[in-house]
């Protein structure tokens, strides 16, 4: 059964197709796609087909079966669909890019653009989102290695300056720390996850980036923002020394989104599940640490009061909770890196101090008659 019969049965084909039999085959394909997408425009369909090898017969069957409708198809073609929807469409209905090369960077197909220099020093690669970068920036990640090119003769860094991810995300290197590197994700040129992520190896980075997707919340926030170029020299160049230390400690949890404390703030975890500092972080501020709440045992009361915090009700015995004096935990209290370092140090002593105090209490009291010690 040919695609025209299928389209007729799907209710998206009419006599206009027959009347258009004089157009050539490529125009027929564009016209077919135009009709399937709710009359999106033949020129728009032609442009899409010029860049994507679409299995129109399979697509027609999918529309007939209701697995995709004309409105979803229209959004994919004009690029307004969520990136995950576009990726799903490409995976199912696109058999390949017209100019797709055999090379991939971090698992993402790229086109290799050869320059005049045989050693590759002026070569570039182009990603599917049309971002073009020097070959030297991605040489550590490209597979297979272009014929006749070596890492030495293009003098590449161990870590690529930019790495493409899912949903049109571009990961930009902000800092190298020996064998580690920090990358910050951008969508449509907008930084959306401040602080980024630190990776210890290429394989760790590849796995993380391949699994990372853009949230619906962030997509809806940025989809109408104008696309802007990423200027590496303007990207935040890493974190402050303290923030870097906290990140490397393994005790720092990033906000996971939503309106809760854990959704809005970083969580620095202490010696127990109840020892937590919730804070915001703004690397561009002279006082980058916005502390919303400090909870723990045997808290440094004098220091906390000096920094502008007050004690509030705690629902757990033995655990003290402090929040900003005037605004509560609705607005964090911003403090300097030095003040934060002092707070973390004193707060971290709380669990051991609490344990020692309780141990001394029972030791001094000795055994008692009765039931429970």
Residue 199 has pLDDT above 90, yes or no: no
User: Is residue 246 located within the same domain as residue 129?
Assistant: no
Domain that holds residue 41: 3-96
**End-of-domain residue from the set 96, 130, 148:** 96
Question: Does any domain span residue 368?
Answer: no
pLDDT for 158 equals 62
Question: Does any domain span residue 364?
Answer: no
Instruction: Name the least confident of 65-74, 345-354, 360-369.
Output: 360-369
Question: Does any domain span residue 85?
Answer: yes
**End-of-domain residue from the set 32, 62, 96:** 96
pLDDT tens across 120-167, in order? 777 888 877 777 778 877 777 777 778 767 655 544 456 788 888 988
User: Is residue 126 located within the same domain as residue 223?
Assistant: yes
User: Is residue 110 located within the same domain as residue 179?
Assistant: yes
Say how far apart CA 293 and CA 281 lie, in whole Å. 14
pLDDT tens across 31-51, in order? 889 899 989 988 888 888 877
Question: Does any domain span residue 371?
Answer: no
pLDDT for 357 equals 47
Question: Does any domain span residue 363?
Answer: no
pLDDT for 353 equals 47
Question: Is 360 or 118 the better-scoring residue by pLDDT?
Answer: 118
Question: Does any domain span residue 194?
Answer: yes
User: Is residue 135 located within the same domain as residue 153?
Assistant: yes
User: Is residue 82 located within the same domain as residue 147?
Assistant: no
The enclosing H or E element of 268 equals strand 266-269
C-alpha distances in Å from residue 169, one per residue of 84, 109, 186, 201: 11, 14, 6, 20
**End-of-domain residue from the set 183, 206, 234:** 234
Measure the N-to-C terminal CA separation of the chain; round to a whole number of Å: 84
pLDDT band of residue 73 (cuts 50, 70, 90) is: very high
Question: Does any domain span residue 20?
Answer: yes
Residue 251 has pLDDT above 80, yes or no: yes
How many domains are there within the chain?
Answer: 3
Percentage above 90 pLDDT, the chain: 15
Question: What's the whole-number mean pLDDT along residues 27-34?
Answer: 86
pLDDT band of residue 277 (cuts 50, 70, 90) is: very high
User: Is residue 34 located within the same domain as residue 119?
Assistant: no
Exposed/middle/buried for 211, CB within 10 Å: 0-12, 13-18, 19+? exposed
**CA-wise closest residue to 296 among 286, 307, 311:** 311
**CA-wise closest residue to 2 among 45, 46, 61:** 61
Question: Does any domain span residue 347?
Answer: yes
User: Is residue 206 located within the same domain as residue 177?
Assistant: yes
User: Is residue 158 located within the same domain as residue 218?
Assistant: yes
Which residue(s) pair with 162 in the sheet? 172
**CA-wise closest residue to 48 among 8, 75, 22, 84:** 75
User: Is residue 81 located within the same domain as residue 192?
Assistant: no
User: Is residue 245 located within the same domain as residue 225?
Assistant: no
User: Is residue 308 located within the same domain as residue 263?
Assistant: yes
pLDDT tens across 310-326, in order? 999 888 888 999 999 88
Instruction: Name the least confident of 53-67, 219-233, 315-329.
Output: 219-233
User: Is residue 255 located within the same domain as residue 293?
Assistant: yes
């Amino acid at each position: 059964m040919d695609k025209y019969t299928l389209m007729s049965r799907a209710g998206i084909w009419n006599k206009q197709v027959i009347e258009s039999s004089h157009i050539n085959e490529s125009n027929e394909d564009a016209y077919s796609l135009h009709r399937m997408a709710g009359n999106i425009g033949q020129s728009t369909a032609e442009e899409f087909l010029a860049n994507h090898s679409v299995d129109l017969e399979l697509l027609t069957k999918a529309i007939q079966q209701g697995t995709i409708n004309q409105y979803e198809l229209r959004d994919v073609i004009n690029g307004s669909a969520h990136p995950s929807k576009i990726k799903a469409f490409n995976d199912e209905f696109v058999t390949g890019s017209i100019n797709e090369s055999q090379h991939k960077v971090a698992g993402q197909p790229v086109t290799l653009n050869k320059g005049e220099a045989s050693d590759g020093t002026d070569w570039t690669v182009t990603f599917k989102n049309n971002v073009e970068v020097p070959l030297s920036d991605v040489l550590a990640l490209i597979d297979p290695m272009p014929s006749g090119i070596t890492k030495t003769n293009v003098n590449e860094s161990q870590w690529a300056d930019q790495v493409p991810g899912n949903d049109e995300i571009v990961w930009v290197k902000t800092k190298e720390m020996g064998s580690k590197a920090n990358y910050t994700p951008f969508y449509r040129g907008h930084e959306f996850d401040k602080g980024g992520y630190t990776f210890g190896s290429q394989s760790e980075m590849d796995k993380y980036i391949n699994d990372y997707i853009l949230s619906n919340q962030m997509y809806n926030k940025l989809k109408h923002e104008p696309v802007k170029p990423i200027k590496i020299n303007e990207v935040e160049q890493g974190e402050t020394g303290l923030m870097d230390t906290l990140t490397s400690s393994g005790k720092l949890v990033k906000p996971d989104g939503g309106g809760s404390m854990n959704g809005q703030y970083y969580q620095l975890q202490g010696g127990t599940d109840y020892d937590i500092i919730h804070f915001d972080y703004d690397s561009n501020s002279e006082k980058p640490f916005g502390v919303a709440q400090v909870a723990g045992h045997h808290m440094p009361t004098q220091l906390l009061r000096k920094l502008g915090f007050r004690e509030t009700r705690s629902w757990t015995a033995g655990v003290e909770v402090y929040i900003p004096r005037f605004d509560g935990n609705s607005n964090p209290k911003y403090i300097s890196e030095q003040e934060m370092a002092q707070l973390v140090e004193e707060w971290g002593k709380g669990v051991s101090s609490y344990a020692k105090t309780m141990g001394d209490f029972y030791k001094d009291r000795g055994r008692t008659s009765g039931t429970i010690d």
